[in-house]
């Protein structure tokens, strides 16, 4: 059937009753739809770029939840730092106590384990060597 195209007003041979545009105008309208879709996509991407640029410049404003969370984490970091320092101190004291044998006690230990008094045994030699290496 012959119809008049709603867009260009030219006559065209419509093979279906619902067709209101000639083939050229129909193709063009589809292309316009694609262009509009791409324009929306570009707009979205530009908005995203702008947002990240703001973040990169440090202009990004934190909302109340973020601020609260950061404060909680900062307090936790402070707590952990305090705990860490306290544990370091305890460890230092512990190490000192573990390796420090009072001088006179050390001398008596050397006398007691001396290889001469133990038939030059391997064990006496090892212990004497350790005491000499860990002299306090
Ligand atoms: Zn047309």
The residues with which 13 forms a beta bridge, in sequence order, are 2
- pLDDT tens per residue, range 27-64: 888 888 888 888 888 988 988 888 888 878 877 677 78
Residues 34 and 72 both lie in one domain: no
Cα separations in angstroms, 14 against 2, 24, 27, 62, 135:
6, 12, 15, 59, 107
Among left, alpha and beta (phi > 0; psi -120 to 50; other), residue 92 is alpha
Question: How many angstroms is it from 16 CA to the middle of ligand 1?
Answer: 15
Residues 23 and 48 in one domain: yes
How far apart, in whole angstroms, are the C-alpha atoms of residue 25 and residue 3?
Answer: 13
Q: Which residues surround ligand 1, an ion (CB under 5 A)?
A: 5, 7-8, 22, 25
**C-alpha 72 to ligand 1 mean position (Å):** 66
CA of 28 to the centre of ligand 1 (A): 9
For 86-119, write each residue's pLDDT tens digit.
888 888 887 777 667 778 888 899 999 999 999 9
The pTM (predicted TM-score) of the whole model is 0.33
* Same structural domain, 21 and 53: yes
* 25: CB partners within 8 A, 6+ apart: 5, 6, 7, 8
Dist. CA 41 → ligand 1 center (Å): 28
- CA 34 to ligand 1 center in whole angstroms: 18
Based on the domain organization, do 69 and 24 belong to the same domain? Answer: no
Q: What is the pLDDT of residue 136?
A: 60
C-alpha neighbours within 13 Å on the C-beta side of residue 9 = 0
Measured at the CA of 130, the angle between CA 128 and CA 135, to 5 degrees, comes to: 95
Structural domain span for residue 115 = 101-136
Same domain as 49, residue 3 = yes
Cα(42) to ligand 1 centroid in Å equals 29
Residues 22 and 49 occupy one common structural domain: yes
What pLDDT, on a 0 to 100 scale, did the predictor assign at position 101? 78
């Amino acid at each position: 059937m012959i119809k008049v195209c709603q867009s260009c007003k030219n006559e065209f041979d419509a093979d279906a009753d619902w067709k209101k545009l000639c083939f050229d105008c129909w193709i063009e309208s589809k292309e316009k739809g694609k262009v509009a879709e791409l324009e929306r996509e570009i707009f979205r991407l530009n908005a995203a770029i702008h947002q990240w640029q703001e973040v990169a410049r440090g202009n990004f404003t934190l909302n109340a939840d973020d601020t609260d969370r950061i404060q909680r984490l900062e307090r936790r970091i402070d707590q952990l730092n305090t705990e860490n320092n306290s544990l370091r101190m305890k460890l230092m004291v512990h190490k000192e106590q573990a390796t420090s044998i009072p001088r006179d006690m050390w001398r008596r230990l050397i006398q007691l384990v001396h290889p001469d008094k133990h038939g030059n045994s391997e064990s006496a030699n090892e212990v004497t060597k350790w005491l000499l290496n860990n002299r306090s």
